[in-house]
Chain A
Amino acid sequence: MKLVTAIIKPHQLDEVKEALEAYGISGMTVSEASGYGRQRGHSEVYRGAEYTVDFVPKVRVEVLVDDIDATSVADVILKGAQTGRIGDGKIWTVPVEDVVRVRTGERGVDAL
């Protein structure tokens, strides 16, 4: 099993969610995050004082998938999240040792 994690622009979340549902992914975890990459931050002006805000609001999407789906799920997210402009984010995939469904106690692929 694999954990696919994507850091995306907040307003791309709907497109990513719809793309994942269309592919057949039945669940995901979403959390608010903030950070920066090559994009760096942005600037805001309050009463004439310019502030550089380093940490830009982002959304983290996490999806647990079977090994065989990992690459295509990353591609699905990529398609939903990509705008081609700076600050689109990152996607990475890591191996997962075990997964348990809390309600039933099912383990491994059955728990996905």
Chain B
Amino acid sequence: MVLRMSAITFVAADVPFTDSGNTAWVLAAAALVLFMTPGLALFYGGMVRTKSVLNMMMMSFITMGTVGTVWILWGYSETFGPDVGGGIVGNPFTHFGLKGILDQIYGYVPADAAAGTAAAGGIPAPAFVAFQVVFAIIAVALVSGAIADRAKFTAWTVFTVVWATLVYFPAAHWVFAFSGYAAETGGWIANKADGLLFGGAGAYDFAGGTAIHINAGAAGLALAIVLGKRIGFAKEPMRPHNLTLVMIGAGILWFGWFGFNAGSALGAGTQAAGVWVNTLAATCTAMLGWLIVEKVRDGHPTSLGAASGVVAGLVAITPACATVSPIGALIVGLVAGAGCALAVGLKFRFGFDDSLDVVGVHLVGGLIGTLLIGLLATKGSPTGAAGLDVNEGVFYGGGFSQLGAQVTGALTVMVFSFVMTYLIGLAIHKTIGFRVDDTQESQGVDLSEHAESAYDLSGLTGGRFGSPGAVSTASSGKPAKTHEGASA
């Protein structure tokens, strides 16, 4: 079916073909984005106390299992399948199990003899499926930072499936499904056309400032409220147990994020390259912005601040990376770094225990990036450089139309996510329970939820004596013993 032809050949019969360079980049970018989830596990894991680091990392890891599975079954179809009407959601049954798309080619542009342009190759649909599933996985994993140290692991696992299905897939459809790419009609936030909800918003969100970061941030806030504060919140010190893990995690996130943003060009060309540079630019100034706030306010620039600034900048440039200039990207980063550094204190003022600042970094950073597009969008951006149209922002004389679209997209996703997540969280909390009991929480969720300890480093002996107790294996059929009989 797929014929290999030179991109400059005029094709008589219009047979879609793939572009190997674009395909290679999208497949590589998908792998980069998957690597962000273990990176997030390290970033979050280092920030919690020793007794719950494994659980924190597992909350990220499990999303690779659950969300990856449901993506293949119905998630892809629900996000990118034929729209059920109004740009609300795709039909989850059309491509159930990826039925009927393995031989499809997306993004192919036919030759136009009248304009004298050659056909341009697309990418195989499975490359698009791969690139989008890793977005769904990390979007869900991001939420877990709000409920560190106290969630039941089974409840979280159920939540990942329900939240992906009822909140993420619809929001991703609104934002990432462009009409005519995978299906004829796309989502109502990305497109502007009759027949879409409100006629469509036409908001710019290149890689997911709304669908991923505002969405995860608002969901984190809702879950933090449903679960309540940790025992001792704002009274006892809850220091990050391993800041070196946090910094490694931030580094992996930054690395993977180039796949996230530049991969969203869905091709290897002018737009992808410009986006790569903008992604770097914003992250640089965001780190500086966060550290300057810390130096002035607290007296010391901290490693946690540097790592957090990096992530805040990446979050904010995610929606904006294709439609702002490199100078615009430096501004987006600086505002996000400084803004998020100030916003992380809000949880103490308002009294909600968003443990690892999903709200302060992802919701606030996502809002900053999404709204700044309304001011900073310009034709002097990677999208403009690629020869595509850009509706310019307020600072470039484009008026308020784009800012209006950005506000609509940002606020709708925020409100939708908060309300839906609160209801889902409450339903899980009232049925199977979302929170461990007080004793389990004090002893640590690593022990109560996973029957493991992260580190065997206690004391100067480095664990050479082993732990007192008895060993039994699963195959011996005896129940596993832990500390019984230790007094002998």
Contacts and interface: CB of A to CB of B under 8 A. Distances in A.
Interface stretch (A17-25, A46-54, A67-75, A93-101): A46-54
A45 interface: yes
A48 B240 contact: no
Give the bracket for the number of chain A residues in contact with chain B: 10 to 19
Place the interface of chain B in its size category.
20 to 34
A10 B294 CA distance: 29
Contacts of B299: 45
A95 B101 CA distance: 84
B292 interface: no
A49 B297 CA distance: 11
A49 B304 CA distance: 12
A31 B308 contact: no
A44 B237 CA distance: 9
Interface in B335-356: 341-342, 344-345, 348
A52 B239 CA distance: 10
Contact of A45 (B238, B302, B308): B302
Interface in B107-134: none
A51 B237 contact: yes
Contact of A49 (B300, B308, B342, B348): B348
Most chain A CB within 10 A, of B298, B300, B305, B342, is at B298
A20 to B, nearest CB: 19
Interface in A80-110: none
Nearest to A46: B304
A59 B230 CA distance: 32
Given A45-B302, A46-B304, A48-B341, A53 B460 contact: no
Interface in B294-320: 294, 297-300, 302, 304-305, 308
A48 B237 contact: no
Contact of B304 (A31, A47, A50, A53): A47
B357 interface: yes
Contacts of A52: 237
A107 B52 CA distance: 47
A54 to B, nearest CB: 8
Interface in A5-40: 31-32
Contacts of B357: 47
B254 to A, nearest CB: 19
A51 B298 CA distance: 12
A47 to B, nearest CB: 5
A32 B239 CA distance: 20
B344 A48 contact: yes
B284 to A, nearest CB: 20
B267 to A, nearest CB: 38
Given A31-B460, A32-B460, A46 B239 contact: yes
B239 A45 contact: no
A36 to B, nearest CB: 14
A47 B344 contact: yes
A31 B460 CA distance: 8
6 contacts: A45-B299, A45-B300, A47-B345, A47-B357, A51-B238, A51-B239
Interface of A: 31-32, 44-53
Given A45-B298, A45-B300, A48-B294, 9 more contacts: A32-B460, A44-B237, A45-B294, A46-B239, A46-B240, A47-B360, A48-B344, A48-B345, A49-B348
